[in-house]
């Protein structure tokens, strides 16, 4: 359970080992911050030993500084969802806001946070699993997967996509 970087020469480097159970990654528009969501709901206990989940681990939105080589450091917890179920997929808009599918049964939906982790917007849904922005003319179209469905909604922000 780690986050890896693949370089252009196809070499693989482990860059994050302290994120609990990483379940999604995104990079800020200026490419200086790596966001990682951890949803360690204890299900690995079930897989490893057949027992019911005994402990809930990290349920958080984490941020790391990225250096010019793509190495991560300076872990920060921007949002701690514990003891509720936490984040799943995430994406970033061109202004640096972080959009996250949050599986909290009391308040499920898509949350938009500032780069400091302050809640800026909320879109209620059933239990969501992922979120992503469209491209081109549809860069402000937010796609959401929840339950067995795919939804879309136009929002007032445009999605950020890494350049090649």
Average pLDDT, integer, range 75-93: 93
The structure's pTM equals 0.89
Cross-strand bridge partners of residue 14: 4
The alpha carbon dihedral of 94, 16, 101, 82 has a sign of negative
Average pLDDT, integer, range 72-82: 95
125, 105 Cβ separation under 8 angstroms: no
pLDDT in tens, 144-164: 999 899 999 999 999 999 876
Structure confidence at residue 33 as a pLDDT band (50, 70, 90) = very high
CA end-to-end span of the chain:
27
Helix (H) or strand (E) segment spanning residue 88: strand 87-92
Average pLDDT, integer, range 24-28: 96
Place domain 3-154 in its CATH homologous superfamily: TolB, C-terminal domain (2.120.10.30)
Beta-carbon contacts of residue 20 (< 8 Å; ≥ 6 apart): 1, 38, 40, 57, 58, 59, 60
* Exposed e or buried b per residue across 46-69, where buried means at least 16 C-beta atoms within 10 angstroms of its C-beta: eeeeeeeeeebbbbbbbbbebeee
Who has greater pLDDT, 56 or 91? 91
- Tokens standing for residue 84: 């509720």
80, 46 Cβ separation under 8 angstroms: no
């Amino acid at each position: 359970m780690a986050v890896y970087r693949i370089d252009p020469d196809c070499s693989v480097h482990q860059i994050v080992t302290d994120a609990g159970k990483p379940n999604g990654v995104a990079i800020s528009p200026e490419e200086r911050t790596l966001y990682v969501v951890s949803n360690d709901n204890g299900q690995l206990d079930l897989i490893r030993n057949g027992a019911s989940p005994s402990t809930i681990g990290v349920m958080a939105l984490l941020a790391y500084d990225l250096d010019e080589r793509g190495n991560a450091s300076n872990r920060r917890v921007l949002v701690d969802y514990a003891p509720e179920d936490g984040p799943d997929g995430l994406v970033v808009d061109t202004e640096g806001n972080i959009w996250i599918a949050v599986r909290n049964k009391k308040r499920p939906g898509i949350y938009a946070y500032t780069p400091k982790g302050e809640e800026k917007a909320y879109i209620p849904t059933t239990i969501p699993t992922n979120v992503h922005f469209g491209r081109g003319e549809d860069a402000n179209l937010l796609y959401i997967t929840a339950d067995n469905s795919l939804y879309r909604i136009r929002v007032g922000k445009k999605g950020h996509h890494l350049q090649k």
